[in-house]
A and B are shown apart, each in its own frame.
Chain A
Amino acid sequence: MCFAASYTVALGLEVSRLLFRSRLRWALLLGSVGAGLLAHTLFLMHRAANGGSTPLSSEFDWYLVAAWVLAGTYLYLTIYHSGAAIGVFLLPLVLALVAMAEFFASQTPFPQSKASQTWGAIHGVFLMLATVAVLVGFVAGVMYLMQARRLKHKQLPAQGMRLPNLEWLQQLNTRAIVISAIMLLAGFLSGVILNLVNQRREIDHFPWTDPVVWTSALLLLWLVAAATFGVIYKPARQGRKVAYLTVATFLFLVLAIGLRMFLPSKHSAERDVTARNQQTQLQSVELQLACHGASARPGGLT
C-alpha cells in the first residue's frame, strides 16, 4: 500500500526535526502526507466501488478508514500548529492502524442482510470515530504530560521538539473524552439495535455475552465514568488528570481490541466460517482449473 510509504516518509521527516533544520521540510511534509491521503482516498473509493458496499463493510476497511480519518486529523493539526512535532506521536498510530488492516484484519465482508446494512454502517462509523477520538486524545495526553514535565523542570524545548501549549492540549484532551464517549455510546446502541434486527430476522446474531459486546460495554462505561468524573469533580478538568484519563482510555481500547482478537467470539467465528467457505471454494476452483491445465490467479476471490 503506497499510502503507508508516504506516511512513513512523513514520519521520517517529522523525526528529522530533532536532528537538523530545513526550510524544505514543511513543504515535503505536506506533500508526502497530501500524496498519502490522496492515494489512501483513491484506494478506499476503489474498494467501495468494486465491493459494491460501504467502505466499512469489512474489518480491513474499518481499520483503513480509521487510519484515513486519523491521517486527515494529523494534516489539519499540523497545519494549525505548524511548528509542533505532532506527527512524531500521531503518524505511528496511523501506520499502526494500516498495519492492523494489513496483517491482522479480515478482508471478508461482514455478513449482512439489506435491512441490517444501514444499522451496520451506523454502528461501524460511530465505533470508528470513537476509536479515532480515543487515539487523538491519547496523543494529546502524552504530549501534555511531556510538555508539563518539561515546564515543571524549567527546561527549554529541545531542537525540533516543540509541542503545543498546555491549555490547547488540555482542551483537546477534554474534547476527545467527550466525543469518544458520545461516539461509543451511539456505536454501542446502534450495535444493539443491529443485533436485535438480525435476531428478529434470524440472520447471524451475537449472544449478549459475546466478548465483543462486553468489552465494548466496558470501554463505554469507562468513558462515561471519565466524562462524568470531569463534570462532577472540578480538578479533574485540569491538567494532568485529563491527560491520564485519555492515556488510560487508550490502554482500555488496546485491551478491548486485543480481547476481541484473541478471545473466542461469535462475531469472529461467523467471519472465520465464511472465510473458510470462501477458501474452500477457491481451492475447488483451483483444482478444476489445474485439471484443465490452467492455473488460478492467487487471491482472485478477494
Chain B
Amino acid sequence: MKFQMSGCSHHTAAVDVRGRLAFDPQQARQALSDLRAKFPGAEAVVLSTCNRVEIYTAADTPAGMPSHQQVAEFLADFHGLRIADIFEDLFERTGEDVVRHLFHVAASLDSMVVGEPHIVAQIKQAYELSCERASNGPLTNQVFQAALRVAKRVANETALNEKRVSIPSIAVADFAAQIFERFDDKRVLVIGAGEMADETLRYLREEGARQVVVLNRNFARAEQLAAQWEGKAAPWSQLQQCLTEADLVVSTTAAGEPIVTMAQFAAIEAARFQRPLFILDLAVPRDFDPAISECLGVYLYSLDDLRAACDRNRQEREKQWPAALRIVDQETDRFMADLNHRATGPIIKRLKQGWGQVKEDELRRLHNKLPDLNPTDRAEIDQAFDRLINKLLHPPLESLRDESAHGIPHALLEAFKRLFQLKD
C-alpha cells in the first residue's frame, strides 16, 4: 500500500504558477479521467484551491503507482506547459508523510490564513469529484474520510478557527453582530466604492443585510456597486440625510481629510435620537472624525482598531497550534496503525483458515471414533476445540498487531508464511 502526493502550494510556488497549474471543476473532472486512463493501477484525487494544487495518488502495489516525475509531466502536459518551467515549484510527499500532510491541510494548519474554514469544504468537493469520476478507491476513501474527521476534531477541540483574522469578518461578526440582533431591517450606507467595502458587504449580506445605499462622488460608480448588491445609489449631496437614516456605515473613500467632522455630526446626532450607529471607517486617512466615537450610541471603528483586533486573534490562533498539531499526530499514528494492520489481514485470514481446517478434520475423526456421544457432549467438545484454536492463535496475532503500529511487519509476515507454510 502506497500513498503519494505531488503538487505545489503557497509555500513552494508563486501565485502566478499556482494560477497556471490550477484546475477548475470541469478541468479537474477531465484530469481525473486522464489519470485513471494513464495510471490504471492507481487511485487519484485532485485538490485545487487558490493556495494549492495537489494530486494525491494511492496504489496497493508500488508497480501501480505513478512517480513524482510522471505526475509532474502529467500536470505540465495537461496545462500545456513545459515541465522545466514548473518542476522546481513542485514538491512531493510519500507514505506516512502524505497522510500527515493531508491531515494538516484539512485542519487548516497549512493554509495561508491558518484556521480558515473553507479548506474542509474544498477537500470534501475534491474527494466527491473523484468519487463521481470513479478515480477513488479503498485507500483514498480511507485517507480522505479520515482527513475530514481530523478537521472536525481540530475544530471541536481547539479554538483554531473560532477567531477571525480578516478585517471585514471581524468588523461584521465580532462587532456589528454584537450590536444588532438582525440585519434585514437595518439600513446599510456604503460611502465610497473601494474593494474593502465590497468584501464587507459580502459579510453583511451573509448576515442578512438587504437595504444597501451606496454613496460616491462618482455617481456612475455608486450605481454600479449598488446594482451589484441589489441596493440603491444616492447622490453625494444626500450624505447628511443618509447618515441620519443609516444603522450601519461602511466608509472607504480616498478623501484627503475627514468627510464627516464632529461639527457636522452634531446635527445628525440630534436627528437620530441616539439610535445605535455602527460606523466602519476603512479609509486611510480616516473619513470620520475620531471624536464622533464619543457620541452616545455611536460605535466607530477605524482600520487601526480592527487591525489590532486581527493581530490579537492571530496570536490566539497561534496558541491553539500545539493542540491542533497533537491531534494531527495522534490521528496520523492511528490511521497508519490501522492501515498497516489491515495489510496483515490476508495472512491472518489464511492462518485462521488453515488451523480451522485442521480443527474440523480432527473433530470429524473424533466424532467418528465416538459415535455414542450425545449432542450436549458433542457441543462441549466442539467448543473446547474452538477455545484451543483461539488461545493458540492469540499470541502470534497479538505480536502482528503490535508490530503493525510501527509499519507493515514484512519480516514477521514472511516468517509466518514460512513457519505455517501459508501459500499465496
Contacts and interface: CB of A to CB of B under 8 A. Distances in A.
Interface of A: 21, 23, 147, 150-152, 154, 156-157, 163, 165-168, 171, 234-235, 238-241
Contact of B181 (A156, A171, A234): A171
A23 B157 CA distance: 8
A156 B311 CA distance: 11
Interface residues of B, number: 26
Contacts of A154: 175, 301, 305, 308-309
B296 A240 contact: yes
A239 B274 contact: yes
Contact of A156 (B174, B182, B274): B174
Give 4 closest A-B pairs by Cβ, nearest first.
Answer: A167-B181, A235-B274, A234-B273, A238-B274
A238 B312 CA distance: 31
A21 B159 contact: yes
B179 A167 contact: yes
B275 A238 contact: yes
B159 A239 contact: no
B356 interface: no
Given A154-B301, A238-B274, A238-B276, A166 B312 contact: no
A163 B299 CA distance: 17
A152 B301 CA distance: 9
- Main SS class of interface, A: helix
Nearest to A163: B178
Given A235-B274, A239-B274, A239-B296, 12 more contacts: A151-B178, A152-B299, A154-B309, A157-B174, A165-B177, A165-B179, A165-B180, A171-B181, A238-B273, A238-B276, A238-B297, A239-B297
A166 B296 contact: no
B313 interface: yes
A151 B179 contact: yes
Most buried by B among A23, A150, A152, A168: A152
Contacts of A235: 273-274, 296
Interface in B239-293: 273-276, 293
Most buried by A among B159, B297, B308: B297
A21 B297 CA distance: 33
B299 A151 contact: yes
A234 B274 CA distance: 9
Contact of A166 (B170, B182, B276, B305): B276
A70 to B, nearest CB: 23
A152 B275 CA distance: 15
B156 interface: yes
Nearest to B304: A154
Nearest to B312: A156
B112 to A, nearest CB: 22
A250 B346 CA distance: 75
A154 B301 CA distance: 7
A152 B159 CA distance: 25
Given A154-B305, A166-B276, A167-B276, A147 B178 contact: yes
Nearest to B170: A156
B273 A166 contact: no
A164 to B, nearest CB: 8
A81 B308 CA distance: 28
A274 to B, nearest CB: 50
A151 B279 CA distance: 12
A165 B299 contact: no
A240 B275 CA distance: 11
A163 B274 CA distance: 22
A21 B293 CA distance: 34
Most buried by A among B157, B177, B181: B181
B342 to A, nearest CB: 30
Contact of A165 (B178, B312, B313): B178
Interface string B155-186: 01101000000000010001101111110000
Contacts of A241: 274
Contacts of B157: 23
Contacts of B275: 238
Nearest to B298: A152
Nearest to A155: B309
Contacts of B309: 154, 156
A124 to B, nearest CB: 34
B272 to A, nearest CB: 9
Contacts of B273: 234-235, 238
A154 B298 CA distance: 12
Most buried by A among B156, B296, B313: B296
A45 B309 CA distance: 52
21 contacts: A21-B159, A23-B156, A151-B299, A152-B293, A152-B299, A154-B305, A156-B170, A156-B313, A165-B178, A165-B179, A165-B181, A166-B180, A167-B182, A168-B181, A171-B181, A234-B273, A235-B274, A238-B274, A238-B275, A238-B276, A239-B297
A166 B178 contact: yes
Nearest to B164: A156
A271 B177 CA distance: 52
